[in-house]
Chains A and B, each alone.
Chain A
Amino acid sequence: MSVEHLAATEEANNSPSADIVLAARGLIKRFGRVTALAGTDFDLYPGEVLGVIGDNGAGKSSLVKVITGAYKPDDGELWMDGESVAFFNDPLDARARGIETVYQNLAVSPGLDVAANLFLGRERRRPGLVGSLFRLLDRKGMDRDARDEMSALGLVTIQDVNQTVETLSGGQRQGVAVARAAAFASKVIIMDEPTAALGVKESGRVLDLIREVRSRGVPIVLISHNMPHVFEVADRIHIQRLGRRVAVVTPATHSAHEAVAIMTGAAPPDPAYAG
């Protein structure tokens, strides 16, 4: 490795500034002989929607799994609010730090009602002996908060929080998952292909929800195959190719055509991110 190259790497690896919510440098993840992440970087700024695009096998989902704690990388560093942190042990660890994830496959329990799903795994108990000894749930309190959260997000058709989720449409179910993430995420919401299982109309509604959640100030990472969706709501777009971040563009400076060209290698990567 040349001296100049080392210097360039040093430059790129400088600790990110404190106003970056979540940052990663030089993430490496290998599966046997396959390298999923070949030293990728990542930055998420406050209050933005960051699109993450890339071809199949570019390392999008590995990147997200490292950030959500599902994978432990082989190498690399992670910062939250400018502070270096150890990688998360598991998704619960990431959740405890205020990172919530919305999954493509509608990770809700269809047989439970809307309120139960919103608070699933984080149930509140009544105060006093009935709560501590008899483990009695504060159902009224949770129902009320669930209703408030649904209204705040404009999910007006899901006002009955005691209906089971299986009676909802796919889009409404994803609405419940987004509401859950929005209610509990203090730092970051990660949405992994949130519209992939939905029709056009319902996808549009989920994009509205994304805007609504952004207006609350929590940054969102949106991983999607769907260029129109990404270009519609993202402030910046992280382009992943061959296990690295090759460019960060904005819908203002690049068209979807150009982004796809970078993503597929038809256009050269942004030299600033060449590493």
Chain B
Amino acid sequence: MTTIDPAAAAAADTIAQFEGPSGALDSTQRWLHGHPLASPTLVLLVAVAYFSLFTERFFTATNLSTILAQVTIIGTLAVAQTLVILTAGIDLSVGSIAVLASVVMGKLALVWGYAPVLALLIGIGIGTACGLLNGALVTRLRIPPFIATLGTFNALFALSQYFSENETLRNQDLQDQAPLLLWFDNTWEPVERFRVTYGALLMLVLFVIVWYMLRRTAWGRHVYATGDDREAARLVGIRTNRVLMSVYCGSGLICGIAGWLWISRIGAVSPKPLDDANLDSITAVVIGGTSLFGGRGNVFGSLLGALIVGVFDSGLSQAGVEPLWRTFAIGVLVIVAVAMDQWIRRVAA
């Protein structure tokens, strides 16, 4: 250490440039790394092609519009979930927030006689507030997102049970007193018998808006940077706690909107849990190629992920396969997706 290393000195003169990692061996890996939507797109196309060929009623306008309607809730929650997972977090409470928001909307509009618009806004506001709570738990109290949202998942669900007094508000009452709450079940029929619900359209719009925010604004870059390496993001001057708060808040807002979609979808207000919605939204995000380690992924991947789940559901049931094998297939897909992510991320090394 006490003498100048002649080798180092000489090297400095002769090395004109850095050499990047090379080798054709992992060109597939690099290509997938550069095109994160490629594998979920391929899986979706193969699944659609397979079920179209081997079942009779899969590739029909009616069935395809049914699939789209069925993935609306999970797809919308997956938008929220993608935001959180991109920051290397996880939100187990998305379904609970949506149920609480829907219960609030229904109760205010039907029982307490609020104007439906006001009831909607308050419900969405409550959803946003729940997101804010998650954000505060994660950034202020430094509770790991998994635990924080596991807590709110249970607590918020209990609150929605309490608030609704465990009663279901019936479709007829909604139609009479607050048809606005059912508005998203209206359909648009661009092709005969291909009926797209307004809810599915809203879901697609949400995907586009969030894609724009993530990919075309500074805020989006900060979300990726925060999830990627929080300390590095902080060092370049990104206020990472603010970014996290905005992400959980935005997630809550979207879940609040999902509450409205949920009422429209089932045509009633029910405090029943959106059974597997929390995990299904995570499944959609993961199958869509977004990394659970944060900082990598594309929100449209989550749309593909939700569609893949919907297609498997529909296709396997058309093929007469027992539902348990559908669950099995989704489980395998999740594991394959995460294994792929691990492998692709190794490009970095």
Contacts and interface: CB of A to CB of B under 8 A. Distances in A.
Interface of A: 91-92, 95, 101, 103, 105-112, 116, 120-123, 125, 134-137, 139, 154-158, 164, 166-169, 171-172, 175, 180, 200-205, 207-208, 226-229, 231-232, 256-257, 260
A75 B221 CA distance: 39
B141 interface: no
B218 A123 contact: yes
Contact of A110 (B2, B8, B30, B295): B295
A108 B2 contact: no
A122 B237 CA distance: 9
B111 interface: no
Interface string B1-27: 111110111011101011111000000
B228 A167 contact: no
Nearest to A257: B2
A120 B236 contact: yes
Given A109-B228, A257-B3, A135 B218 contact: yes
A256 B9 CA distance: 14
B221 A120 contact: yes
Interface of B: 1-5, 7-9, 11-13, 15, 17-21, 30, 33-34, 216-219, 221-222, 224-225, 227-229, 231-233, 235-238, 295-296, 345, 347-348
A103 B218 contact: no
B228 A135 contact: no
Q: Is the interface of A mostly helix, strand, loop or mixed?
A: helix
Contacts of A116: 221
Contact of A157 (B2, B17, B33): B17
B237 A167 contact: no
Contact of A172 (B3, B18, B225, B347): B18
Contacts of A175: 18
A107 B231 contact: yes
B14 to A, nearest CB: 8
Nearest to B232: A107
Given A121-B238, A156-B17, A108 B3 contact: no
Most buried by B among A111, A166, A201, A207: A111
Given A167-B348, A256-B2, A136 B30 contact: no
